[in-house]
Structure 1
Amino acid sequence: MIYIYNDFAGTHSTALAAAYHLKQLPQSERKLTTEEIVNVKYFNQLTKKDFGKLFFHGTDENGHSVYSIGRKRNKFAVPAMKEMTLLLLEKFHVNEKIVFSNTSPTVPIAMSLGGLFSRGLHIDFIGVPLLVMGAKQCCDTIYRLVENTKQVGNTTFNEQVIILENEMYHV
């Protein structure tokens, strides 16, 4: 199975989701520390040139690969990836399940503004504290989203490609 966490930039909520998924962060709904947040792989590290690229985060305890992607505001990116995936799975007779999980609904305004200041305007002294504040606000929600994503991946047997919009996690 392959898990792909996606959102606007692919460097904040997706990085946290991948870290939770891979058990690189505490497996609970407790608030993360600033140090835990800023030390997450790819957190606030990607730039505009990285939009649309898949980033490998690691392999989970069940041997499943975990990726992230920043799709900007393109509502067609994930459906297009689904169609391409289905085509390749059929053509090469691969029996692999892929779960796309949207982390955007978990993102609070502080994280959005922090991303704008830090990644967009390169004003880290404003952006990074806002990103950390936002990450602390939503880390428990991201943790629950990841747990749900894994559960859906393990219990949905008849679909090869699953898209989770995760609107129930909207902040």
Structure 2
Amino acid sequence: MIYIYHDYGGTHTTSLAAAFHLQLLKPSSLPLTSEEVLAVPFFNKLTKKDAGHLLFHGKDADGHKVFTIGKKSSKLIVPAIQDVTTMLFDHFQVDDQMILSNTSPTVPFVMSIGGGLSRGLGLDALGVPLLIKGAKKCSPLIYELVEHTKKQAHQTTEKVLTLQNQQFKI
């Protein structure tokens, strides 16, 4: 099974989701400290040129690969991943699954502003504190989203499962 967490920038909520999925962050550590947030791999580290690229975060306890991707404003990336995956799985007769899980609904407004200031304008002194505040606010919801994603993945027989996760809207 392959998991891909996706959102606009691919560096904040997706990185937190991957960290929870890989148990780098645990629910017992909630609420997160500033240090824990900043220690998450890829958190606030990506640049514009990283958009549209799959980033490998590791393998989970069951050996499943976990990736993230930033889509920017493109609504075409997820359908393209779905179609290419289906084509390759069918062509090579791969008996596997891909789970695409949208973390965008969990993004609080303060995180959007912080990300724009830090990643968009390079104003880390203003943006990073807002990102940390946003991460602390949404991390319990992201943990729930990850648990939901894993549960749905194990309950489906679909080759490619896409979760929009609107029920996790902040």
RMSD: 0.9
Distance 1:169 1:73 in 2: 20
Counterpart in the other structure of 1:168: 167
C-alpha distance in 2, partners of 1:149/1:14?
13
Is this contact kept in 2: 1:71–1:77, CA < 8 A?
Answer: yes
Aligned counterparts of 2:131 and 2:28: Cα–Cα separation in 1: 20
Deviation at 1:77, TM superposition (A): 1.1
Paired residues in the alignment total: 170
Match in the other structure for 2:119? 119
2:135 corresponds in structure 1 to 135
Scaled by the length of structure 2, the TM-score of the pair is 0.98
Q: Aligned partners of 2:69 and 2:11: how far apart in 1?
A: 8
Q: Secondary structure at the match of 1:95?
A: coil
1:48 aligns to what?
48
Residue 73 of structure 1 aligns to a residue whose secondary structure is: coil
Distance 2:41 2:139 in 1: 15
Identity over aligned pairs, percent? 52
Aligned residue for 1:69?
A: 69
- Which residue does 1:155 correspond to in 2? 155
Counterpart position of 1:88: 88
Cα-to-partner distance string for 1:94-142 (whole Å, 9 max, x where unaligned): 1110000000000001110010000000000000000000000100000
Contact conserved, 1:56 with 1:66, CA < 8 A, in 2?
yes
Unpaired segments of 5 or more residues in structure 2? none
The answer to whether the 8 A contact 1:11-1:70 is kept is: yes
Is the Cα–Cα contact under 8 Å of residues 54 and 69 in structure 1 kept in the other structure?
yes
Q: Are the equivalent residues in 2 in contact too, given 1:28–1:143 (CA < 8 A)?
A: no
CA shift, 1:27, in A, is: 2.7
Return the letter of the residue paired with 2:134: G
SS at match of 2:57: strand
> Which segments of structure 1 move beyond 3 Å, counting only runs of 4 or more?
none
Which residue number in structure 2 is paired with residue 34 of structure 1? 34
Shift of 1:18: 0.0
TM-score by length of 1: 0.97
* Stretch moving more, 126-135 or 72-81: 72-81
Once the two structures are TM-superposed, the CA of residue 26 in structure 1 deviates from its matched residue by 1.7
Task: Give the unaligned 5+ runs of structure 1.
Answer: none
Aligned partner of 2:11 in structure 1 is 11
* Residue type at the aligned position of 1:167: Q
Query: Which string of whole-angstrom CA distances, capped at 9 and with x for unpartnered residues, describes residues 10-48 of structure 1?
Result: 000000000000000023482111000000000000000
Q: Distance in 2 between matches of 1:43 and 1:11?
A: 5
Question: Is the deviation greater in 21-30 or in 160-169?
Answer: 21-30
* Partner residue, 1:25: 25
